Amino acid sequence: MKTHSITGLATRRWTVVVGAVSIGALVLLPACSGSSDSPAAAGTPSATATATATADATRTACDAALASDWVNIPGIDPDGPPASAAELAAWATPLQPRITALRAGVPADLTSKVDTLATAVRDATEGKPVSTDDASLQAALTAVNAWAHDSCDYPTLDVTNSDGGALSGVPATLPAGPVAIRFANTGTDPAKAGFILLLGKVRDGQTATAADVQAGKVNVEDIADIVAVAQPTGAAPAYALATLSAGRYVVTAPVGTPPQFSGVVAAGFEVG
């Protein structure tokens, strides 16, 4: 089985937050004439207006989370050159307003997590490399992606590995557009746990299948562009976000612990 490039990729702690989506806002209905004419009613936001504002903030936060690129962090490749200050600033500068919008729309118990992301982004604008092995940064990204999975009304891709033999929860097809991903290991043997879930879009002209990936005939990164990554911590599930376009996709996970994985599990689906 070819394992070198899988191992190299799996040791990169990538988390994906890309794309864009809209969530429908509530409609503000006019109040009855008896209450709208009173000074007290005029000065007090209605429950409907408050709900609309909350829905708008949530929608904007979802848009911001999906539009934020946490895949292509400069310097993320351990085999590549270190990122320059200009590269870091070019990556981080567009993220700053998105982080602000994200913070305004998440629940109060998530704002500290968003602040962790904001610190990494601010430091990057000043030329400081992003530590992708930072546990607090990983926890913050996981928390935000978990919130998006549960709150943003995206189609979901909930993948489970139970015994290191196959992945369950992968449908034959998914619609184009945003998707919220959840990956969980449910078995009790760490040697059979999926180390990291990779979602790759198969490149045009490639004929290899998910079965070929699982059989070790080909590495996923040799045939596909990685568009989402979800890495569990212990027994807790991992989360990721992506935007799917038409084509074939492979979902795969190396089984066991690096550097010597015991195998690979994989499944495929299509986006029309």
The domain segmentation of the chain, as residue ranges, is: 4-17+154-271, 65-151
Q: Which CATH class is domain 4-17+154-271?
A: mainly beta
Enter the pTM of the model.
0.79
Q: How many CB atoms lie within 10 A of CB 103?
A: 18
d(Cα 141, Cα 96) in Å, to the nearest integer?
A: 15
Q: What is the pLDDT along the chain (272 residues), one digit of tens a residue?
A: 333 233 333 334 333 332 222 222 222 323 333 444 444 445 566 788 888 888 999 999 998 999 888 878 999 888 889 999 999 999 999 999 999 999 999 999 999 999 999 999 999 999 999 988 889 998 999 999 999 999 999 999 999 999 999 999 999 999 999 999 999 999 989 899 999 999 999 999 999 999 999 999 999 999 999 999 999 987 899 999 999 999 999 999 999 988 889 999 999 999 99
